[in-house]
Every structure is written in structure tokens, then in C-alpha cells.
Amino acid sequence: MGRSRGGWSSKIHMVAASCRDALVWSLTAGQAGDGPEGRHLIEVIGVQDAPVYLLMDSAYGGGDLRAEALERNLIPVVPAHPLRKHPWQLDKRRYRQRNEIERLFRRIKAYRRVFTRYDKLDVVYATFISMALICEHLR
């Protein structure tokens, strides 16, 4: 658990196939950046045989992360920062599908123990996140 401006917190980073299926996820401290963890999750996914769209939050929209995704045959769908000198085109139709991932986060946070984060150890908290993901997958 990490300390940020709001107090003690943590972040859940996830790659999901649908609103019920999480492929890989990780837990970081609240003050940790999203980009490095996003690169780590992309490395875990590996190189894909066919092009796969990767719907990402704007926190993962850095140039390095996009380049690594493209090397692995993942097509990043993320809005460019408005002040970027050379912004890329956003496929708005595909980006609207990102709400499925947000619904998965809402579902796992419906479990009180995941939402309130009573656990002090990351291992215990990660266990309950895994349990919530399994329950949602079986639903």
C-alpha cells in the first residue's frame, strides 16, 4: 500500500478480454505511475499472432507504451493528450467499448472487502481481488 495525497491507497491495473474476463492484473501503490505498470502488463501479454485492439485509459497514453504495444501486434486505442504536438487519430467507436472494462471494475468493487481495502497486506488484498474476479467470471 502506498501513500498519496489522499492517504494510504493502491491501484489495480488490469487487462481484460470482456466485462467478465480479466486476463492479467496487478496491484501497485497509490503514488506509482500508470505507464511503467502498463508496460509490464503488455510484456506479460506477449506478442500476438493477429492484431488485437488494446483499449486503454488516457493514463496509459504515453508514446513509449504505445510503441511497445505496436511491437507486440497490439493496436492501442487511447486518446492523445490535448497538448501533444503530433496527436494520433482516435477510433471513437472502439474507444466507447472501454466501458466494459469499467463495468468489470465496478463489479469487483461491489465486494465490500475489495472496495473498502481493510487489509493491510497487499498479499491478502490481492487474494480477495482474485476471488472477486473468479466469482464474476463464474457468474
pLDDT at 87 over 80: yes
Residue boundaries of the structural domains of the chain: 2-138
Residue showing cell 503530433: 86
Q: What is the pLDDT of residues 111-138, one digit of tens each?
A: 888 888 777 788 888 899 999 999 988 8
Is residue 11 classed as helix, strand or coil in its secondary structure?
A: strand
Q: What is the pLDDT of residues 23-52, one digit of tens each?
A: 889 888 878 888 888 889 899 988 989 999
The closest alpha carbon to 40, from 14, 20, 59, 61, belongs to 14
pTM, two decimal places = 0.79
Element (H, E) at 15: strand 7-16
- CA dist 139 and 112 (Å) reads 17
The CATH number for 2-138, chosen from 2.60.40, 3.30.420, 3.30.70, 3.90.550, is: 3.30.420
Q: Please, where are the H alpha helices in the chain?
A: 34-45, 63-71, 92-95, 99-109, 112-116, 122-138
